[in-house]
Amino acid sequence: MSGDDVYQEELLRVAREAAGAGRLAPPASTAERDNPLCGDRVAFDVRLEAGRIAALAHRVRGCLVCQASAAFLSRAAAGAGAAELRAGRDQVAALLSAGAPVPAGRWSGAALFAPVGPVRSRHGCVLLPFDTLAEAVAGWRG
């Protein structure tokens, strides 16, 4: 499978929509990470209420896969707590590495990343936004 095969129409649509792109004013917590192997850079701003994500926004300088992952998270992670976010990341990592189906529920839309599975060099592009958002949630000092 070539790298071009990961760019399925649904993934392109999610990346183009760029749900959640921008900044929170003011952010309660911000985290920024980059992938030195490919140059992707992701930043997430979050606000939490009662330990759950009440608002989030992201900025991505990176490939369409990374952009789609951040946009996906902007919708799927709203209302999630840290444990749910870790569980979602684990489910997506299992989808990518072993083709494991994503259970119904909050993270089921992550199935759009299934075409990325055979292209191991792109797994980090999907997971970088998850890890960045988890860091922002962990940095919350509410």
Enumerate the domain spans of the chain.
3-138
- What one-letter code names the amino acid at 86? R
Tell me the CATH class for 3-138: alpha beta
**Percentage of the chain lying above the pLDDT 90 cut:** 86
- Which pLDDT does position 141 carry in this prediction? 66
Q: In whole angstroms, give the CA distance from residue 25 to residue 78.
A: 17
Q: Cα 96–53–7 angle (5° rounding)?
A: 30
Cβ atoms of residues 84 and 74 within 8 Å: no
Residue 21 DSSP symbol: B
Query: Number of C-alpha atoms within 13 angstroms, CB side, residue 95?
Result: 24
pTM more than 0.85: yes
pLDDT (average), residues 69-73: 98
- Token digits of residue 24: 């929170």
Tell which residue, 65, 64, 67, has the closest CA to residue 123.
65
> How confident is residue 75, by pLDDT bands cut at 50, 70 and 90?
very high
Each residue's pLDDT tens digit, 4-24: 566 688 999 999 999 999 999
- Which pLDDT does position 27 carry in this prediction? 73
